[in-house]
Amino acid sequence: MPTIETRYLGDLRTEAVHLQSGTRILIDAPTDNNGRGEAFSPTDLVAASLGSCMMTIMGIAARRDGIDLTDSQMSITKIMSAEPPRRIARIEVHLTMQTPSELSESDRTKLERAARTCPVALSLHPDIEQAITFEWTSLSVMS
């Protein structure tokens, strides 16, 4: 059974529908590739998927260990290859992890390993460089 149905709307725009939830996403070609750039591009979604997958897998591991990662954030930069063929060359993910209290080095290592081995990270072609950085802060240290 399909997971997603996508329809071409014209003018280099598609709409993808997640069949289980009905959630819709508009997708545009980027401005540097003849598009309007008014929505995520297909390659933007790849980069966003990597970051979301990392945070989700970390969340699963954290929940299992009683660690709260609420309000953690990330910034993602997608870099396209300057050489043909057009493709993603590098995805930079900077995760700013916020926890209620200071985590042990062991807990941090376990969560970082979970992120780096998420299904999207393992599914991307090895030629796509994944530059992942973590910044850890705790509310107890910030007080």
The whole-number pLDDT of residue 41 equals 98
pTM of the model: 0.93
CA angle 115, 6, 30 (to 5 degrees): 70
The whole-number pLDDT of residue 139 equals 81
CA 92 from centre of chain: 10
H/E element, 2: none
Summarize pLDDT for 79-123 with one digit per residue, the tens: 999 999 999 999 999 999 999 899 999 999 999 999 999 999 999
- Strand, helix or coil for residue 105: helix
Q: Does 143 score more than 80 pLDDT?
A: no
Summarize pLDDT for 15-52 with one digit per residue, the tens: 999 999 999 999 999 999 999 999 999 999 999 999 99
Beta strands 13-18 and 24-28 are antiparallel
Cross-strand partners of 73: 96
Contact 15, 27 (CB under 8 A): yes
